[in-house]
Structure 1
Amino acid sequence: MRIQLKITINGNKLILDNGKIIYLTKEMFSRFDLKGKTNLDDDVFYSLIHFRIKLSAYSMLAKRDYFKKELKNKLIEKIGFADIVEDVVEDFEGQGYLDDYEKAKSYASQHSNYGAKKLSFIFYQMGVDREIISEILEDDKDNQIEKIKQLWIKLGNKEDKKKIESILRKGFLYGDIKKAISSLKEEEEE
């Protein structure tokens, strides 16, 4: 049984009974034959909303890369229809438009002054799978001491306590900071 949804079209706006507004493009008018319509069956409505969400997703991804959860949340906030957004995001992931592993890897390399704890927290907030987080942080594990040494040198002549606090805030482990400081002292003595 098909359900008929009551709609109102005003200019480029499709207004639903609940007051929700969906912005339409010329292509949507012709593709879904919307001119003069006051009702849509649920299949056509799903296709229309799916198409609108895809357009928004393409537009957003053209500007920058997103984590899967991040894109999903923005689309739900912008348009609503969480179940349809989920379908679109799954389609995009299947087509390779969304790749949390590559995005996380890129993010980690762009934020090389962040330690494993901070990166892990950021990735967790963005909904990145724990296996991906572990893999990316494991790949970067060997570089932690070198990154700390660079930060230590960059912080210049500040007192050691302040430098340690600053590096801790960037998400590096205290044990790694101690190793880096020892390594720098050994290098100075040589």
Structure 2
Amino acid sequence: MKILNLKRNKLYLEDDRVIDVSPDIIYEMGLSRKEELSIEEYERVVYLAALSKSYFLLSRRDYTSKELERKLRIKFQEKEIIKKVISEIEEKGYIDDYSYAKSFIERSKDGRKKIEYDLRARGIKAEIVKEAFNDSGQNEVYKIKKLLSKISSKPHDKKINYLLRKGFGYDSVKEALRDEDEE
């Protein structure tokens, strides 16, 4: 694969591909002296660039493996290399979908249904979500009671609708409202 240009941190290749490369990659692969890359060298450059991009993204916030894969696919077309990068990052413990799900559950003020939906949208498997819920020990009724203190002035039916929209189960809402009425 022919190298057309190397400007700053961009490697321009003959088939209109542009790869962001760090100075470390340029030095390690000797890109400033090369005019052409073999297929193995090209794959190595893409692998190092994807790994570098992954570390950069993970330094800013946590990602699920599926979210990181989506981000990398925007920049890189090589699916096998992306899978290899993600599996290496998972092995090192930088990505853990279970820990992500558990911390997401603990931080969220929403109900179980909405949390499950949000985690599934982030690419976390249903069994991991279920396991994280079981291990988190979250009590929906307790969460609802905390929210009820903020909306205590609203009519009864509006409270129910609000809590249902937040993803809480009807039985939990009913129980929390019953407890509130008793107090």
Same fold (TM over 0.5): yes
Cα deviation for residue 141 of structure 1 reads 6.0
Secondary structure of 2:34's counterpart equals coil
Q: Which amino acid in 1 is paired with 2:11?
A: L
- Distance in structure 2 (CA, Å) of the matches to 1:94 and 1:141: 27
**Structure 1 residues 142 and 69, CA, compared in 2 at 3 Å: closer, same or farther?**
closer
Do structure 1's residue 70 and structure 2's residue 60 form an aligned pair? no
Corresponding residue for residue 98 of structure 1: 95
- Identical aligned pairs, as a percentage? 32
* Residue of 101, 104, 109 corresponding to 1:107: 104
Do structure 1's residue 134 and structure 2's residue 130 form an aligned pair? yes
TM-score normalized by the length of structure 2: 0.92
Structure 2 gaps of 5+ residues are none
**Structure 1 residues 59 and 119, CA, compared in 2 at 3 Å: closer, same or farther?**
same
**Structure 1 residues 52 and 21, CA, compared in 2 at 3 Å: closer, same or farther?**
same
TM-score normalized by the length of structure 1: 0.89
Cα deviation 1:46-105 (Å, max 9, x = unaligned): 111100011111111111111111111111113332221111011000111100111111
**Structure 1 residues 29 and 97, CA, compared in 2 at 3 Å: closer, same or farther?**
same
Corresponding residue for residue 172 of structure 1: 168
Corresponding residue for residue 57 of structure 2: 60
* Residue of 4, 25, 46 corresponding to 1:49: 46
Do structure 1's residue 86 and structure 2's residue 83 form an aligned pair? yes
**Cα RMSD for the two superposed structures:** 1.5
120-129 or 30-39: bigger deviation = 30-39
Aligned residues: 182
Corresponding residue for residue 147 of structure 1: 143
Structure 1 gaps of 5+ residues are none
Do structure 1's residue 8 and structure 2's residue 8 form an aligned pair? no
